[in-house]
Chains A and B, each alone.
Chain A
Amino acid sequence: SQQGEEDPQALSIQEGENATMNCSYKTSINNLQWYRQNSGRGLVHLILIRSNEREKHSGRLRVTLDTSKKSSSLLITASRAADTASYFCATGSTSGGSYIPTFGRGTSLIVHP
């Protein structure tokens, strides 16, 4: 099955800096989503970008999608210590009428106060 791969695997920054995470995938997609996971918890949906969109914003989040390069990036501006978490991209595709989201391995972000 297709899978997004995030890069870098780990990122450590200071509060106030911007954090950029990248996601690459292998096959055609309907959409790409970013999720956040705090340690030992479930994932929380952050933002969805469709295959016909190039950029999307939500608060301090900015997501871009380049379908020609099969890649996406998530930018968190003016990071805060509370942004410390793992971030996953999920690519969505439809198979036999079923929608199946597949996840990458995630980027672990640490924001130092």
Chain B
Amino acid sequence: DGGITQSPKYLFRKEGQNVTLSCEQNLNHDAMYWYRQDPGQGLRLIYYSQIVNDFQKGDIAEGYSVSREKKESFPLTVTSAQKNPTAFYLCASRSRGTNEKLFFGSGTQLSVL
């Protein structure tokens, strides 16, 4: 099946720990995005990447880092510098062209122990 896969579904972080959220897509999409969603809130853009080996900060990039070494993969690291990491994290991808529809993964819920 083609799609976008996020793992793990649930993740717990200890104080001072870095954690990495996985996002993989087999849709051959060039663009990938990371969003953060807090309860009852909309989606806020953390980072995005339009092409391999290139990525840009979104509105709330502080305390996060990403890499885009492969077209299929766009992992997000939540560093210890992110003081309030508890949230639902969503990864999305998009193909180039006139259809700008986003495809989303099923999300990762990150909580602090």
Chain A contact residue count (CB 8 A cutoff): 26
Residues on B with beta carbons closer than 8 Å to the beta carbon of A30: 100
Interface string of A96-107 (1 = CB under 8 A from B): 011111111110
Interface residues of B in 34-86 (CB under 8 A from A): 35, 40-43, 45, 48, 50, 56, 58-59
A33 to B99, CA, bound (A): 11
User: B45 contacts which chain A residues (CB < 8 A)?
Assistant: 1, 100, 102
The answer to whether B107 and A42 have CB atoms under 8 Å apart is yes
Instruction: Report yes or no: A98 in contact with B48, Cβ–Cβ below 8 A.
Output: yes
Q: With A98-B48, A99-B94 as known contacts, state yes or no: A45 contacts B102, CB within 8 Å.
A: yes
- How many B residues have CB within 8 A of the partner chain? 28
In the bound complex, residues from chain B placing their C-beta under 8 Å from that of A77 are: none
* Set A41, A45, A92: member contacting B106, Cβ < 8 A: A41
B109 to chain A, nearest CB (A): 8
Interface residues of chain B: helix, strand, loop or mixed (majority): strand
A113 beta carbon closer than 8 Å to chain B: no
**Known pairs A97-B50, A98-B50, A99-B31; A88 contacts B101 (CB<8 A):** no
Interface residue? A43 (CB, 8 A): yes
Q: Which residue of A lies closest to B6 (CB)?
A: A42
A42 touches B48 (CB 8 A): no
The interface residues of chain B lying within 8 Å CB-to-CB of A88 are: 42-43
The interface centre, meaning the residue of B31, B43, B50, B109 with most chain A CB atoms within 10 A of its CB, is B43
Residues of A within 8 A of B (CB): 1, 3, 30-31, 33, 35, 40-45, 48, 88, 90, 92, 97-106
16 pairs, A vs B, C-beta closer than 8 Å: A1-B45, A3-B42, A30-B100, A35-B102, A41-B106, A41-B107, A42-B104, A43-B43, A45-B103, A48-B100, A88-B42, A97-B50, A98-B48, A100-B58, A101-B100, A102-B45
A48-B100, A105-B42 known; 20 new pairs, CB 8 Å cut-off, are: A1-B45, A31-B100, A33-B100, A40-B107, A41-B106, A42-B6, A42-B90, A42-B106, A48-B99, A88-B42, A88-B43, A92-B100, A97-B50, A99-B31, A100-B45, A101-B33, A101-B94, A103-B43, A104-B42, A105-B41
